[in-house]
Amino acid sequence: MLYWMRYSLLLFLIATLPGHLWAEPVAIQQVEIALQEERYSINTVIHFKFNKRVLDALQHGVPLTIELQLQVIRKDAWFWEQSRVSLQLYRILRFHALTQLYEIQSLEHDSSQSFAIRDIAIDALGEFQLLPVVDLRQLSKDERYVIKLRANLDIESLPLTLRPLAYLTSDWNLSSGWQTYPLTPSLGNSSL
């Protein structure tokens, strides 16, 4: 009887813990899709909650590469159908010990930003603004389309000596999973 009461109390405490303790390590929080000058673009905010092992590696000079994958496909597409658009965008977060600054390098724009505070750098890492997605003329007006997004930590970009550990432990397997958002050419402008 005492065992059952302890077990019930433990389950109750776990169930009532604040939601942020169960938060996903990578979460796509905001997506806005806009049609401007015959082209769809996307603004998105992705939240990264890196664990202690990943943050320690960053502090010791290991660059973290984030990959944002984007696909435009027909809404009712078969799994073997090719996507209309498939993009991979990369950002690298580094810590420079000499200057005590965090740098975000955007590979698609060949630009970089520096930050003095790690949390602000991590927040900026997930902000993607006005990403061109697809031209309107690439889409059929009679079809419905969706945009699929996924953000993850790119394990292949880690130093070679760290990769086996990254593949074998869940600490490094950080991904949002695929998220789907409607894209309708005939409606013109959509926002989520």
pLDDT tier, 189 (very low <50, low <70, confident <90, very high otherwise): very low
Half-sphere exposure for 35 (CA within 13 Å, toward CB): 14
Distance separating alpha carbons of residues 65 and 40, to the nearest angstrom: 26
pLDDT per residue over 107-165, tens digit each? 888 889 999 999 999 999 999 988 888 888 888 888 888 899 999 999 999 999 999 99
How confident is the model at residue 88, as a pLDDT? Answer: 92
pLDDT of 6 over the 60 cut? no
> Which one is predicted more confidently, 107 or 23?
107
How confident is the model at residue 23, as a pLDDT? Answer: 56
How confident is the model at residue 34, as a pLDDT? Answer: 87
> Which one is predicted more confidently, 62 or 80?
62
How confident is the model at residue 1, as a pLDDT? Answer: 56
pLDDT of 12 over the 50 cut? no
pTM of this prediction? 0.78
Lowest-confidence region among 47-56, 165-174, 180-189: 180-189
Q: Which residues contact 77 (CB under 8 A, 6 or more apart)?
A: 83
| Phi then psi dihedrals of residue 25, to 5 deg | -70, -25
Lowest-confidence region among 42-46, 81-85, 173-177: 81-85
Q: How far is CA 105 from CA 64, 81, 110, 166, in A?
A: 10, 33, 7, 22
The C-alpha angle 155, 42, 31, rounded to 5 degrees, equals: 80
Half-sphere exposure for 90 (CA within 13 Å, toward CB): 10
Half-sphere exposure for 13 (CA within 13 Å, toward CB): 6
β-bridge partners, 86? 71
Nearest to 183 by CA among 42, 25, 50, 19: 42
